[in-house]
Chains A and B, each alone.
Chain A
Amino acid sequence: MKTVRNVVCPFCGSLCDDIEVDIEDNRVVKVRKGCAISATKFTKYNEERIYKPRIDGREVSLEEAINEAVEILANAKYPALYGWSCTSTEAINIGIEIAELVGGVMDNTASVCHGPTILGEQDAGISTCTLGQVKNRAELIIYWGCNPAHAHPRHMARYSAASRGRFVKGRKERTVIVVDVRKTHTAKTADIFIQIKPNSDFELLTALRWAVKNGELEQEEIAGIPAEKIEELADMLISCRFGALFFGLGLTMSAGKARNIEAAVNLVRELNNYTKFVMVPMRGHFNVTGANEVMAWATGFPFAVDFSRGYPFYNPGDTTFVDVLTRGDCDAALIVASDPVSGFPAEAIRNLAKIPVITLDPHETLTTMISKVVIPTAVVGIEAEGSAYRMDAVPLRLKKLVEPPPGILSDEEVLKMILKKLKERVK
């Protein structure tokens, strides 16, 4: 038996890097320090695996599958390449090259989760920091529209509310505020819980900003919260020495989307006239931040890039995969490390089922079931190494712990083969 220490967990955007795993006979047998989700990922990653490449449900060799994928991509007039948040940055980088070569739309899963965060930041800027700063200094922490107790189980203990920092020693020295539409488990641990009416985040953020500016609130109640309480809250935010706002899909995906984030950025900016305040998005998949980082450095845009006219063009709403699909614009798709069929609107899925789809995934998913070409790959962070970005954009190295099943390559290697064949084909 072998024990590997300081393993980075490839599940959520927290990327906890202190996991210890025991390995026996090329299998993970025990996980220490990880949360329940992490332990399940490390020990059960082998369930529902795909072991052989397929074309139309028929098992084929890897070479045949790659040739078919190359034909589909090369013949498409408007292919879309989507997913990328559960694979390594190295694989994403090759994906971008493929997208440019075939003149396709390159999008990552941020477009259906924290895409609005990016749009809001692009409109208003952002005051942010690393999670270490929050741990060591933040006296006041707000969780807005997110539930780390369930979605990022170790976030509060390692980086935020209950973490032991250098200057702020623990939970007792911090004030925790939760803003949500229902009393979540995170809300139950908070000092102050603000239950707002659904879809009224923008109004509350605007009112808070106006109260921070010392303006008078003319309405008695905003977003279901009495005006005096909002003024009280504004005083509290101003008087802390270091505040951090963590926000999740409750803010990015409720009515207003990107504008909610813009309002939050504006509030944080206003607060910085009086104190130090930062905001950090609670990113979901382990490398969704990496997908944005790689695309931003390679193309200038963090998601939804259209290469169809030979240069990168970006306009979410037009070039986002879910919109491209809903309108039925694309005529082929390459899905890597993602399962859009499970989460996309019905109209989009109906259109996806009509076109040839190539899927790279270690596991059987609803998307592999509607795909023409399926190529199984290794699980990144367990069977393949690579780098990933934490939610605060700190890059960390994922480890290879065990060997993948025989004949199965990593996303990076398969994409490299597709790229090589495509280059020959396009010539």
Chain B
Amino acid sequence: MGEITLKPKVTFKVPIIAETITPDNFAGKPIEEIEKLEMWEGNRKTTLGDLFEAAGSSGEAPADTKIIIEGDVRKVRRIGYKMTDGQILIKGSVGMYLGEKMEGGKIIVEGDADSWVGAGMKGGQIEIKGNAGDYVGAPYRGDTKGMKKGTIIIHGNAGNEVGCWMRGGTIIVKGNAGLFPGIHMKKGTILVEGDCAGRCGAMMKGGKIAILGYVPSVLPSFTFEEIKKSFKVKGEKIKGPFYLFTGDLNENGAGKLYVSTEKNKHLQFYEKYLE
């Protein structure tokens, strides 16, 4: 497998739009050609070679190309845009729109990621070892086509609106999640292993959301169904028990919301509807 290492030449101030950093663009190209790939530094057009030091050699095809980015790339956006295969490893924190419209391959971030991780993703896998910002898997504002396929795993916490307008795929948040996970969701699965700030599944029409930690309340447009023993994510069984709600009834939705019974004693009043 060919490996290419990128190191920022300076500390970036203005946003860098680096949608050319993908295994698809790097595969089969010598370093000199990779250095000529176009990028935007604020309002100036520039090249990869002006901003990064590149070393190593790429593979023949995207599948056997691995890109390693060392250093702080918080200001660098759209890494892995529309990538179809191969790997990107970021040994630090990364900027917005990581893996936007990604179709395949794998991205690993050892630090944090900013908002819109996997925006409108169509396949592949993204793993963030730190925290993620808002709108994980969500499309741009105004768009109604969120994540379709693939997996996003956040080991830390995630911000608001995880999986907004989601149409498929899986998002796993090992830490806590902010407000509105699964808002406008149609299909797919969201698992939050920590606590959630609330309003889960607002306006959802389908799909599954499970919260293993504390939730302040369930939206009034959700109806309590039953107590379930377990929940399945990607074939793996997660033990409950869970309160199962259906909603969002305001949107005539049939989404499933699983909320841990153990961590949410304040929701016990729903049990009177069991008969």
Q: Which residues of A contact B (CB under 8 A)?
A: 76-78, 102-104, 119, 122-123, 202-203, 206-207, 209-210, 213, 215, 217-220, 222, 255-256, 259, 262-263, 266, 270, 307-310, 314-318, 327-331
A–B pairs, 12, beta carbons within 8 Å = A76-B42, A77-B13, A77-B43, A103-B43, A202-B202, A203-B217, A203-B219, A213-B250, A256-B179, A259-B202, A318-B96, A329-B14
**Assembly CA distance A308 to B270 (angstroms):** 53
Q: Which residues of B contact A (CB under 8 A)?
A: 13-15, 17, 40-44, 75, 96, 115-116, 134-135, 140-142, 179-180, 183, 199, 202-203, 217, 219-221, 223-224, 249-250, 269-270, 273
Hey, which chain B residues are within 8 Å of A207, CB to CB?
A: 220-221
User: B220 and A309: CB pair below 8 A?
Assistant: no
Hey, which chain A residues are within 8 Å of B135, CB to CB?
A: 317
**Assembly CA distance A99 to B140 (angstroms):** 22
A209 interface neighbour in B96, B141, B221, B269, Cβ under 8 Å: B221
User: B221 and A309: CB pair below 8 A?
Assistant: no
User: B134 and A219: CB pair below 8 A?
Assistant: no
User: A206 and B219: CB pair below 8 A?
Assistant: yes
User: B14 and A331: CB pair below 8 A?
Assistant: yes
Q: Secondary structure at chain A's binding surface: helix, strand, loop or mixed?
A: loop
Report which residue of B115, B141, B180, B224 has the largest number of chain A beta carbons within 10 angstroms of its beta carbon.
B141
**Assembly CA distance A62 to B224 (angstroms):** 69
User: A256 and B180: CB pair below 8 A?
Assistant: yes
User: A218 and B183: CB pair below 8 A?
Assistant: no
Q: Secondary structure at chain B's binding surface: helix, strand, loop or mixed?
A: loop
| In the complex, residue of chain B having the shortest beta-carbon distance to the beta carbon of A207 | B220
**Assembly CA distance A220 to B224 (angstroms):** 14
User: A210 and B40: CB pair below 8 A?
Assistant: no
| In the complex, residue of chain A having the shortest beta-carbon distance to the beta carbon of B219 | A206
**Assembly CA distance A211 to B44 (angstroms):** 54
Q: A218-B270, A308-B42 are in contact. Are A203 and B14 (CB under 8 A)?
A: no
Known: A76-B43, A213-B250, A331-B13. 16 other contacts (CB 8 A): A77-B13, A77-B14, A78-B13, A78-B42, A102-B43, A202-B202, A203-B217, A206-B250, A209-B221, A218-B273, A255-B179, A259-B199, A270-B250, A314-B142, A329-B75, A331-B14
User: B199 and A256: CB pair below 8 A?
Assistant: yes
